[in-house]
Amino acid sequence: MSLIDVRSLTLGYENRTVLRDLSFCVDEGDYLCIVGENGSGKSTLMKTLLGLQKPFGGEIIFGDGLKHTEIGYLPQQTVVQKDFPASVREIVLSGCQARCGLRPFYNREEKQLADRNMERMGIKEYSRRCYRDLSGGQQQRVLLARALCATRKILLLDEPVSGLDPMVTAEMYELIEGLNKEGITIIMISHDISAAVCYAGKILHIGKKTFFGTKEEYMASDIGKLFIMSEEGGANA
Amino acid sequence: MLDKLIDYLQYPFVQYALIVGVLIALCSSLIGVSLVLKRFSFIGDGLSHVAFGAMAIASVLNLTNQMIIVMPVTVVSAILLLRTGRNAKIKGDAAIAMISVGALALGYLLMNIFSTSSNLTGDVCSTLFGSTSMLTLTLTDVIVCGVISAIVVALFLIFYNKIFAVTFDESFATAVGTRSNRYNLLLAMIIAVIIVLAMNLVGSLLISALIIFPALSSMRLFKSFRSVTIFSAVLSVICAVSGIIISILAGTPVGATIVAADVGAFLICTLVGIFKK
Ligand SMILES: Nc1ncnc2c1ncn2[C@@H]1O[C@H](COP(=O)(O)OP(=O)(O)OP(=O)(O)O)[C@@H](O)[C@H]1O
Ligand SMILES: [Mg+2]
């Protein structure tokens, strides 16, 4: 049985359908990359997978006893109100909320986990700073650390490297690969097609045409060749 | 002046007012931080008017224990307002304005038509702005207030981390398995309870001030959720105590004096915040 089985899913906003009749599955230990043009519905798909919005039709089946509390998530955008008082540490710790269930306070292990993930993302030294006062890239790292705290079986990332400098981007990919090797399933949305075909095992391409298969199949397919060419052309231009 | 104060402190009704004042100030400021950040303050405003309407109905029915009507009506309205405010984006604001102004007008109308009291304006005024004399608090009031405050504070402490998570980023919280809707509901219900409690002290029109000001003042000075919450609780209690004492000594209306103290504290915090930068 697959970890996540998506069957003829149709999704969108209010009365606008964004994606129609989409089927794919994610097995335990997979590294799936979702690619597609801007506005093709990648983020919407991810939100639907997470249960943040209801699908119009079709099914999402969580197999292997996957629970929501085992999911880590990095949103593409987090709209945080101006002046929101929240320190980096408070935010990263809030990634552990699912672990503690109804227990009111975080225990030592969870605090250590938060510290370790802050170290991993190189944000330890400003753990007491206010989130709103950080740069965009620094904020992204905070949210990544929070997502890592929440992850136990599967990690969903919506454009994790956007806004990161090249050094951290490379480290980020290494880190995600490492997590994947430890057995954590990865679903990542990315515009960085060269990284996608380098690290991912499977590719889901959505848009006017849909493709789902291994990256080797994708690179051999017409839709894949065309997309890789256009993205790389775009990147070089 | 100090003698006069110590003299007054002997009276049970002054002690009651101080106890109730501190408790309400504490509860409202704890919840206030989330309320302001979640942009739920409009709900607080709407609810205070609903509570006024319910109070009017209760007094028309000549109930001895008005809480029996006021509390459930306000809690149910809190839940309804939360629903409408979330689902229909544009209509939410209008619905709240409608409900709150409607309740206010209806309440006044009812009191006007059916009231047997000889001092109608005084009655209305004290429901809206709090009683001028604090003689109205009985020992039972104090005990009820104490129990409810204890529950509110306990709930807040138990769910502190969840409340932070849901306030900061509701979609992340939901995605990782936190039942955000439940916590929103909990918040709405706590607001409703606090509003009903606070009506005795500051009156229904001034409650929002009690909820919002300490949080806003604290946000000028502090940068983490925890420090903002703690400071706003401390500030709110200080303002309530000094407001009550000043009102005793100067003979000013209690509710308005407390709110004035909150406004003063807000101005000071804003100034300090500017100089700190
Ligand atoms: N909140 C919303 N309400 C209504 N329509 C929306 C909303 N958010 C996105 N859309 C529409 O849904 C479509 C898919 O959006 P989505 O954010 O899923 O795209 P995406 O593939 O993630 O794009 P990008 O690469 O830019 O992140 C777009 O056409 C967009 O206009
Ligand atoms: Mg997107």
**ipTM attached to this prediction:** 0.89
- Whether residue B275 lies inside any domain: the answer is no
Question: Which residue in chain B is spatially nearest to A70 when comparing CA positions?
Answer: B176
- Whether residue B276 lies inside any domain: the answer is no
Instruction: CATH number of the domain at B247, please.
Output: 1.10.3470.10
A136 interface with B at CB cutoff 8 Å: no
B160 interface with A at CB cutoff 8 Å: yes
pLDDT tens digits for range A96-140: 998 888 888 999 999 999 999 999 888 889 899 999 888 888 888
pLDDT tens digits for range B190-243: 988 888 888 766 777 778 888 899 999 999 999 899 999 999 999 999 999 999
A13 interface with B at CB cutoff 8 Å: no
In the block, which residue shows the tokens 């104090």? B142
- Whether residue B104 lies inside any domain: the answer is yes
- Whether residue B133 lies inside any domain: the answer is yes
- Whether residue B63 lies inside any domain: the answer is yes
Which protein residue has the closest C-alpha to ligand 1 atom 16? A41
Q: How many alpha carbons lie under 13 Å from residue A11 in its C-beta half-sphere?
A: 26
In the block, which residue shows the tokens 């007094």? B59
The CA distance from B199 to B74, in Å, is 12
Relative to beta strand A71-74, strand A57-62 is unpaired
Nearest C-alpha neighbor of A185 from the set A32, A67, A65: A32
The CA distance from A115 to B235, in Å, is 32
Dihedral class, residue A12 (left if φ above 0, else alpha if ψ from -120 to 50, else beta): left
> What residues of chain A, 144 to 163, have a C-beta less than 8 Å from chain B?
146, 150, 156
- Whether residue B277 lies inside any domain: the answer is no
> pTM value?
0.87
In the block, which residue shows the tokens 């224990």? B65
Lowest-pLDDT range of A1-15, A150-164, B56-70, B163-177: B56-70
- Whether residue B89 lies inside any domain: the answer is yes
- Ligand 2 centroid, distance to A53 Cα (angstroms): 15
Which protein residue has the closest C-alpha to ligand 1 atom 5? A13
Q: Which two tokens stand for residue A213?
A: 């298969």
As for how many domains chain B has, the answer is 1
Residues of B in contact with A104 (CB under 8 A): 157-161
Residue A147 has pLDDT above 80, yes or no: yes
Domain enclosing residue B127, as ranges = 2-270
User: Cα-atom radius of gyration of chain A, to the nearest Å?
Assistant: 18
Decide if B168 and A94 are in contact by the 8 Å CB cutoff.
yes
